[in-house]
Amino acid sequence: MTLLEKTRSGRDDPRLAPVAKRENLSPGELARRVAEGTVVVPWADGHDLAKPIAIGRGCRVKVNANIGTSPDKSGLEEELVKLRAALDAGADAVMDLSIGGDIRGIRRRIRENCPVSLGGVPIYEAAFRCSSRRRPFRRMTAGDMLEAVRSHVEDGMDFVTVHCGITRAAVDFFRDKGRICGITSRGGSLLARWMLANNEENPLYSHFDEVVDICRSRDVALSLGDALRPGALADAGDRAQIHELYTLGELARRAKTRGVQVFIEGPGHVPFDQIPAQMRLEKIACDQAPFYVLGPLVTDVAPGYDHLVGAIGGALAATCGADFLCYVTPAEHLRLPGTDDVRQGVIASRIAAHAADIANGLPGARDWDDAMSRARKARDWDGQFELAIDPELARRSHGSAPPRNESVCTMCGEFCALRDDDDLF
Amino acid sequence: MTLLEKTRSGRDDPRLAPVAKRENLSPGELARRVAEGTVVVPWADGHDLAKPIAIGRGCRVKVNANIGTSPDKSGLEEELVKLRAALDAGADAVMDLSIGGDIRGIRRRIRENCPVSLGGVPIYEAAFRCSSRRRPFRRMTAGDMLEAVRSHVEDGMDFVTVHCGITRAAVDFFRDKGRICGITSRGGSLLARWMLANNEENPLYSHFDEVVDICRSRDVALSLGDALRPGALADAGDRAQIHELYTLGELARRAKTRGVQVFIEGPGHVPFDQIPAQMRLEKIACDQAPFYVLGPLVTDVAPGYDHLVGAIGGALAATCGADFLCYVTPAEHLRLPGTDDVRQGVIASRIAAHAADIANGLPGARDWDDAMSRARKARDWDGQFELAIDPELARRSHGSAPPRNESVCTMCGEFCALRDDDDLF
């Protein structure tokens, strides 16, 4: 039985207790939410997962870091260094998006070194195989695509992103309307081309039950990819995107009926004012399934700062229903992220997630801030560094401009308001 | 006559036309808003201001950069380099907060080199004078404080921050309730100590009309400082803070009656979910006067990343009524900002301001994003760099990992979705 089936049938799974504890939920409450599909615990059979997580209603907002090779940069060692950077910075989950080099070998090595939930994107493997055999992607069969899902499941991924919701109807809406940035999802672009070249439906849609059953075999969670996510503010919320979202809602119901946990992927580039509606719509269309968003990015004009742009959108999204933030790094739109990009991306998303946890009134979320503010008021610098989301950076920054008087910083010096208050209040 | 008096009496001021044009407003519309007090144009008599701005209803959200010496770091040249960095990064206004070195000489040199509206904080000068004469601040007289306002006005500041709203009543509320971080405003802390030591009302409150008349003499705008702004999430929205806000509203009415433009300063550390209410309350309490906020910072735990934390809060604040964002730099809470901190702080606030302009439906705001997205779709890299909010960083980042094929980047390489769409749609 899968975890979803167990929770539905009222059977206990000892794996839930530690996860529930970290969320300040009772195991029974967590089990109820998994059963109703508002929370997922991506944890494949046989994975000795040191830091499992719950994602969804009433849980701390989680952060995912994407790593992985590209055709231009495909070193295993570099990816393991990035994995370590993501974990050190506090990523709750990791996805391996490798599309270059020995992708299966890389995936397995990443899994060996990954104590958190690990996800992958099978269609990339399928595309990579075609490319390395110099075979056009359009010649691929449904069987090839299912095979890539199977290899991810066999390799022990805890969740897989599958772009099942981009249907011919969605692509037709899309072609009718036009967009500035077309399809920016790699998986979506591949499948759209496949459908148009073959004049057939998306195999991952038409063979959806098989996709689900492959995942069910090792209790792998399904992350339903948003192939038509907007890649420009101008493209947000168009008919194609929302058509796909409602298709994902239908597929999510089918997956759950077959015993597989599911969450929904979302945008992307979205104007700040449209974020609440997009988040609400996902909850309506997908029966409150957990929502996993990329950013959202609230402006297109800031390459080099897209981690910050994504943190702005992510904070609002996560106060409006998003449960899981996929990080965006400063390298977005410019190059494959390096180690420092990974670190900055994770921290930026964690700040957004934490701001939302506080805003959402998650019990205990603000304790961390209050402890920091007490240390700040006491000018307890070591305490502040230890409590900082990035202790090393805080220590280095303060130390780079040593104050004359150690109890203050160089901003106010002798005019430190916090110190001067001490005798007053 | 001051600008406010002219607009109220229906007289034309030729200085308004170029300002209105940049805001896509007619000069008449801008004049009406200045007259009603919902927009300010901080532009002192006799200042040959190359880049004047309008701040408030229907205008692009503006960004201020604070520079200035501290007792520990007081070099003029360094401040001029920071000024240049702030201007290059696109700051709309600058405040000189110097409290160390030859502060009057530094202020004048900054003004000579500053093509944008320049503000200052007279109480810092007053405190600095006391300190350099080894005289306790509590011995200062109302006349000393007014003298500092006068010297700022004489030196040609376009606006001054004066902490007139921290009254004895506000301090009493404050003492009753307790806070984690007490008073974090330097000006507020000085004045609270003065009041308690002398058992008298805040001279800047009791002599408010004189403050206004000094500003009126050269048409300097008043920025009413929020001395009791929260310095911790836990302290946000307490009775003392809101008491002061309503006092600022009364003072704003009095200033406008006497012909002086006025805007209101706001927090500070505020949980994300409290930002809309705080912004709305300012508009209610202060007759829709422009609101100038510091951040707001939506978590206390991220020293080293407070520019990003402030951008999250600033974007929400500016969609809920804030008109003017005071930047926060990565150095906040750690040290006096350096040149790179200034640059990062300005860019972060500009991203937040721009995201809000788009969200607010400001006509034309999204054109920039659409142009960027078109360049992105066309893989026009030079176009993307030119349009980027920080062209140099974008170019450097892309160039640091050169792709094999120049039409793409190293993230997707041959699997570039944007390129592959070209033949489809």
CA angle (A48, A51, A53) in 5-degree steps: 110
Residue of B nearest to A273 (CA): B359
Interior/surface letters B291-306, b for 16+ CB within 10 angstroms, e for the rest: bbbbbbbbbbbbbbbb
Contact B73 A401 (CB under 8 A): yes
Give contacts of A351 with chain B, Cβ < 8 Å: 299, 302, 305, 308-309, 312
Nearest CA of chain A to the CA of B80: how many Å?
A: 17
A181 → closest Cβ in B351, B412, B418: B418
Give contacts of A71 with chain B, Cβ < 8 Å: 404, 412-415
Task: Report how far apart, in Å, the C-alpha atoms of B304 and of each of A389, A423, B214 are.
Answer: 9, 29, 39
Give contacts of B72 with chain A, Cβ < 8 Å: 401, 403-404, 410, 413
Q: What tokens were used for A336?
A: 């494959």
Q: Which string of DSSP letters, residue by residue, matches B332-346?
A: TTTS---HHHHHHHH
What's the Rg (C-alpha) of chain B? 22
Q: What is the CATH number of domain A3-359?
A: 3.20.20.540
Give contacts of A387 with chain B, Cβ < 8 Å: 301
Contact B425 A393 (CB under 8 A): no
Give residue A315's pLDDT: 98
Give residue B416's pLDDT: 81
pTM beyond cutoff 0.95: yes
Q: Is B218 helix (H, G, I), strand (E, B) or coil?
A: coil
CB A269 within 8 A of CB A236: yes
Give contacts of B332 with chain A, Cβ < 8 Å: 411
Residue of B nearest to A403 (CA): B72
pLDDT at B379 over 60: yes
- Pair type for strands B55-56 and B39-40: antiparallel
ipTM passes above 0.85: yes
Q: Is B331 helix (H, G, I), strand (E, B) or coil?
A: coil
Distance, CA of A295 to CA of A312 (rounded, Å): 8
Distance, CA of A105 to CA of A102 (rounded, Å): 5
B181 → closest Cβ in A183, A184, A376: A376
Q: Is A221 helix (H, G, I), strand (E, B) or coil?
A: strand
Mean pLDDT to the nearest integer, B125-144: 90
Give residue A175's pLDDT: 66
Residue of A nearest to B412 (CA): A70
Burial class of residue B134 (count of CB atoms within 10 Å of its CB; 0-12, 13-18, 19+) = exposed
Give contacts of B179 with chain A, Cβ < 8 Å: 425
Contact A181 B373 (CB under 8 A): yes
Contact A334 B409 (CB under 8 A): yes
Position B83: which residue type? L
Nearest by Cα to A390 from A420, A354, A366, A362: A354
pLDDT at B249 over 90: yes
Q: How many CB atoms lie within 10 A of CB B111?
A: 19
Give contacts of A124 with chain B, Cβ < 8 Å: 415
Contact B415 A127 (CB under 8 A): yes
Give contacts of B413 with chain A, Cβ < 8 Å: 70-72, 99-100
The per-residue pLDDT for range B264-276, each reduced to its tens digit, is: 999 999 999 999 9
Contact A308 B309 (CB under 8 A): no
Give residue A418's pLDDT: 77
Give residue A176's pLDDT: 56
Task: Report how far apart, in Å, the C-alpha atoms of B303 and of each of B329, B333, B335, B358 are.
Answer: 10, 6, 10, 29
Q: What is the pLDDT along chain A (425 residues), one digit of tens a residue?
A: 999 999 999 998 999 999 999 999 999 999 999 999 999 999 999 999 999 999 999 999 999 999 999 888 888 999 999 999 999 999 999 999 999 889 999 999 999 999 999 999 999 999 988 888 888 888 999 999 999 999 999 999 999 999 999 999 988 877 656 799 999 999 999 999 999 999 999 999 999 999 999 999 999 999 999 999 999 999 999 999 999 999 999 999 999 999 999 999 999 999 999 999 999 999 999 999 999 999 999 999 999 999 999 999 999 999 999 999 999 999 999 999 999 999 999 999 999 999 999 999 999 999 999 999 999 999 999 999 999 999 999 999 999 988 888 788 788 877 888 776 666 65
Which residue ranges does chain B devote to CATH 3.20.20.540? 3-359
Residue of B nearest to A401 (CA): B335
Give contacts of A360 with chain B, Cβ < 8 Å: 273
* Mutation for testing the A interface, residue in B334, B343, B370 having most A CBs under 10 Å: B334
* Mutation for testing the B interface, residue in A135, A196, A312 having most B CBs under 10 Å: A312
CB A311 within 8 A of CB A354: no
CB B188 within 8 A of CB B137: no
CB B122 within 8 A of CB B162: yes
The per-residue pLDDT for range B163-213, each reduced to its tens digit, is: 999 999 988 877 656 799 999 999 999 999 999 999 999 999 999 999 999
pLDDT at B422 over 70: no
Contact A359 B272 (CB under 8 A): yes
- As a whole number, the mean pLDDT across chain B is 94
Give residue A423's pLDDT: 61
